[in-house]
Amino acid sequence: MSQPTASSTTARPFQGAIGVFDSGVGGLSVLRAIRAALPHEHLVYVADSGHAPYGDQSEAHITQRTLTVGNWLAEQGVKGITIACNTATVVAAKALREQTHLPVVAIEPAIKPAVALTRSGVVGVLATRQTVQSVAVARLMALYGAEKRILLQGCPGLVELVERADLHSAETEALLRQFITPLLEQGADILVLGCTHYPFLRDTIQRLAGQSVTLLDPAEAVARELARRLADSSGLTPHTEQGSVQFFTSGDVAQVQTVMSHLWDAPLTVRALP
Ligand code: DGL
């Protein structure tokens, strides 16, 4: 396959690529794990920043955005879709899977591995409000958490800070302290990063929590699962090819490009989602 471009005149310009999306820039934490695990693949990333944060919006809105972005990716010819957004997964992954024949791999809060790892028997989960209220997380807790204490902490405001690349300010630290302190006081020795924006706050979270607390981010597990699913279905791109990444957003292109270049640690070009 030649490197796909958005300006291609073919009807399906990203034929054979992998679509990855999030409500905004946070899914880059999953994209970098996919890029590392699958360096030969062509990736198309959509930051739905014009509609972020998902976590404070209705289930109907999150489902509608997930289906809209998922459909757009399918129309571009992608061979698989990764939902790099816990909120979209817990609210709308089922609806997307019902709508497409493509393999859909979706990140969800790492409650199962956290339960296996905790020594104190107390796990803290940092996530958006919609994620902590979701039926899907209640199901994960019932499945894996019966003999442990799982503390769900909604974190309104954090996504907005990461969307501005405001990672190290006093405001960010104060908000993180407010969310993390009650979990530590109740004995949590594992903190699940249950929103893909939060790995960009990892250094501050680790400093506030202390080195004895383990932070869990399932991005690498998602990349491995994606590789497995593609190997079983549409196939992986030959190792002779050099992979690529194309970026799109529904938000302010110039602002999203600046923030994503900062988080990706390299200059990148973002285009408007048509
Ligand atoms: N990155 C999304 C997640 O993993 C954030 C959702 C939001 O926009 O609130 O949940």
pLDDT, tens digit, 9 for 90 and up, residues 200-216: 999 999 999 999 999 99
Q: How far apart are CA 21 and CA 89, in angstroms?
A: 11
> Which residue has a Cα nearest atom 8 of ligand 1?
53
Provide the whole-model pTM.
0.94
Per residue in 61-80, pLDDT tens?
Answer: 999 999 999 999 999 999 99
How does residue 11 score in pLDDT terms, banded at 50, 70 and 90? confident
**Pocket of ligand 1 from Cβ distances under 6 Å:** 22-24, 26, 52-55, 85-87, 128, 131, 159, 195-197
CATH number 3.40.50.1860 given to 6-108+220-272: yes
The pair phi, psi for residue 251, each rounded to 5°, is -95, -160
- Domain 6-108+220-272 shares a fold with domain 111-217: yes
For position 233, what pLDDT does the model report? Answer: 85
How many CB atoms are closer than 10 A to CB 159?
Answer: 24
Listed by start position, the domains of the chain span 6-108+220-272, 111-217
Catalytic residue among 18, 69, 123, 195: 195
Range 111-217 has CATH code 1.10.287.70: no
> In angstroms, rounded to a whole number, what is the distance separating the alpha carbons of residues 48 and 89?
14
- Expressed in angstroms and rounded, the spacing between residue 85 Cα and the centre of ligand 1 is 5
Exposed, middle or buried: residue 258 (CB in 10 Å: 0-12, 13-18, 19+)?
Answer: middle
